[in-house]
Amino acid sequence: MDDGVSTGAGSRLDIVSDAICPWCWIGKRNLDAALAQLAEEGEHFTVHWRPFQLNPDMPREGVERSAYRAEKFGSLERSRELDAQVAEAGAAAGLEFRHDRMLRTPNTLDAHRLIRLAGEAGPARQGAVVEALFRAYFQEGQDIGSRAVLAEVAAGAGMEAAAVVAHLASDAGEAEVRQEDLGFRRAGISGVPSFALEGHVLFSGAMPPERMALAFRRALGILRERAAAD
């Protein structure tokens, strides 16, 4: 991540995230609201989505979700309790989680490769793809570990399906995604979503929009004071 206060398009925000993290979708919705508040104050940002795999050792084909969650959390009942908490928090943010439709827990390496590819077209396209992936997985129950599904989701977000298919069929971006993921772990990031402003990690978690806006506002003030003192 680069240091320094950006000019031009706006301050840089990096969001370290995984496409199967429910709190990342909630965090994105809260972020959208926080940035809308700050835009009214004349503050603008460019948002970049960065890779983190919650399950880096997941088989490439993914696994059956209910069995995986039961093993991870001790029982299927406990998994369902946690899903209910997520659904409640999502509803408060205006999101509908349909855990009943989610049959598989995917490997997200290819999803991150897609997000990286989308970023080459700019932050707006990347953000649209990230949103589409969250919706495909959490609301529609699609297997976003499938390259065919990823191509379809990407096409719905304005990308060329054929180009996405070709990209995912190669190894393009794979080493870079793995390297970024490892770099964040080595930097001490263990939970997502994590938010960094101009290369400085501010917080992790899907905090409410007002608290996000306050954190960004305060951080901008500190960075500008430092820049003025240099």
- CATH code, domain carrying 191: 3.40.30.10
Query: Is residue 5 in a domain?
Result: no
Q: Which of 181, 176, 179 minimizes the C-alpha distance to 192? A: 181
Instruction: Count CB-CB contacts under 10 A for residue 43.
Output: 15
Which position has the higher pLDDT, 67 or 4? 67
Does pLDDT of 4 surpass 90? no
Band the pLDDT of 34: cuts 50, 70, 90. very high
Q: What is the mean pLDDT of residues 202-230?
A: 96
Structure tokens at 161: 């399906």
What distances in angstroms separate CA 49 from CA 17, 97, 122, 192, one per listed residue? 7, 21, 11, 12
Instruction: Say how far apart CA 151 and CA 164 lie, in whole Å.
Output: 6
Which position has the higher pLDDT, 169 or 10? 169
Those residues with Cβ within 8 angstroms of residue 108's Cβ, 6 or more apart along the chain or in another chain: 18, 19, 20, 53, 54, 55, 58, 144, 145
Write the pLDDT tens digit of every residue in 49-107: 999 999 999 999 999 999 999 999 999 999 999 999 999 999 999 999 999 999 999 99
Where would I find the beta strands (DSSP E) of the chain?
A: 11-17, 45-51, 63-64, 104-105, 194-197, 200-204
pLDDT at residue 230 in the model: 84
Q: Which of 128, 148, 106 minimizes the C-alpha distance to 21? A: 106
Band the pLDDT of 7: cuts 50, 70, 90. very low
Query: Is residue 36 in a domain?
Result: yes
Q: Is 206 helix (H, G, I), strand (E, B) or coil?
A: coil
Query: Is residue 165 in a domain?
Result: yes
Q: Is 45 helix (H, G, I), strand (E, B) or coil?
A: strand
Amino acid in position 183: G
Write the pLDDT tens digit of every residue in 100-142: 999 999 999 999 999 999 999 999 999 999 999 999 999 999 9
Q: Give the residues across from 200 on adjacent strands.
A: 197
Does pLDDT of 5 surpass 50? no
Does pLDDT of 207 surpass 90? yes
Query: Is residue 155 in a domain?
Result: yes
Q: Is 38 helix (H, G, I), strand (E, B) or coil?
A: helix
Q: What is the mean pLDDT of residues 174-192?
A: 96
Query: Is residue 38 in a domain?
Result: yes
Band the pLDDT of 17: cuts 50, 70, 90. very high
pLDDT at residue 9 in the model: 64
Query: Is residue 15 in a domain?
Result: yes
Number of domains in the chain: 1
N-terminal to C-terminal alpha carbon distance within the chain = 20
Structure tokens at 88: 């409640």
Does pLDDT of 6 surpass 60? no
Q: What is the mean pLDDT of residues 36-45?
A: 97
Structure tokens at 32: 């959208």
Query: Is residue 2 in a domain?
Result: no
Which backbone phi and psi does 45 adopt, to 5 degrees? -140, 150
Query: Is residue 3 in a domain?
Result: no
Q: Could you list the residue range(s) of the whole structural domain that residue 56 is in?
A: 11-229
Q: What is the mean pLDDT of residues 197-206?
A: 96
Structure tokens at 216: 């960004």
Across all residues in the chain, what is the average pLDDT? 95
